[in-house]
Amino acid sequence: MPVVGYLSSFPADINPKFTQAFLQGLNDAGFFEGRNLTIEYRWDEEGRYDRLPMMAADLVGQRVDVLFASPIPAALAAKAATTTIPIVFAVGSDPVETGLVLSLNRPGGNLTGATFLSVELGAKRLELLRDLVPKIASIGLLVNPNNPNTAVQTKEMQAATTALGLQLHVLRAASQSDFDNAFVTLVRQRTDALVVSADPFFLSHRDQLVAPLRATQCPPSIMRASLPRRAV
């Protein structure tokens, strides 16, 4: 019976939705878990990307027939773990720019997959934020330095804020303990609005991110800023 390795860094409450869609896709292709297919699940529900290489290596050691990996941190961990087992990824960023594949039409190597290019929507999110709060002059961007997409997201947002004549303040948080310092900095810098970058770690701690905003004297636009529905 074929064995599929499932590697994910989505948070616990998001993973079931993606897993259900994943299983439905397999069913549509004639594969049913437990009947003619076995699935080995490995996921990091806390945004601890340092665990992903170990999980990927474990799946490779199980000699799975194919690896499914999502989002980008999991896909990169899978790529580093094997050059022979086929890998199918689902990511929200440009797989060429992040180093997953050589090109979109000729991926090369043992990887293929799909991208939603949601990282490139950062500029559009910023435009929507300005439409909601027309008088904003400065934007805070919260990023996770451990996310491989951070440099790309920061570059995209810097270009977008410059084009709109806005000032950008980049704030970094790699753990829950970093959140308070980030919000203190927002208030000290009198930042008008906050954009939270697309990141599984932030998505899994969205309640903790919202709580400090409610408890501090943050500008109304920061209070209204929302987390992305999907992380990459």
Is 90 in the same domain as 137?
A: no
Is 199 in the same domain as 212?
A: yes
Q: Domain boundary at 75, 94, 115, which?
A: 115
Edge-to-edge, what's the strand order for the sheet holding 111-115?
Answer: 38-43, 3-8, 66-70, 87-91, 111-115
- pLDDT by residue for the chain (232 residues), tens digit each? 899 999 988 766 666 778 888 999 999 999 999 999 999 999 876 667 888 999 999 999 999 999 999 888 899 999 999 999 999 999 888 888 888 999 888 888 999 999 887 766 777 888 888 888 888 899 899 998 888 878 888 888 888 889 888 999 999 998 888 888 888 888 888 888 888 887 878 877 777 777 655 544 454 444 434 344 444 4
Placement of tokens 């330095």 in the chain:
145
Q: Domain boundary at 66, 87, 115, which?
A: 115
Is 152 among the domain residues?
Answer: yes
Is 128 in the same domain as 96?
A: no
On whether the CB atoms of residues 225 and 173 are closer than 8 A, the answer is: no
Q: How many CA atoms lie within 13 A of 77 on its CB side?
A: 30
The Cα–Cα gap between 10 and 231 comes to 8
Q: Which domain holds residue 203?
A: 119-224
Is 230 among the domain residues?
Answer: no
Is 229 among the domain residues?
Answer: no
Q: How far is CA 213 from CA 122, 125, 136, in A?
A: 21, 20, 17
Q: How far is CA 57 from CA 38, 39, 124, 146, in A?
A: 18, 16, 37, 20
Q: Domain boundary at 86, 115, 144, which?
A: 115
Is 105 in the same domain as 70?
A: yes
Q: Look at the chain and report how many structural domains it folds into.
A: 2
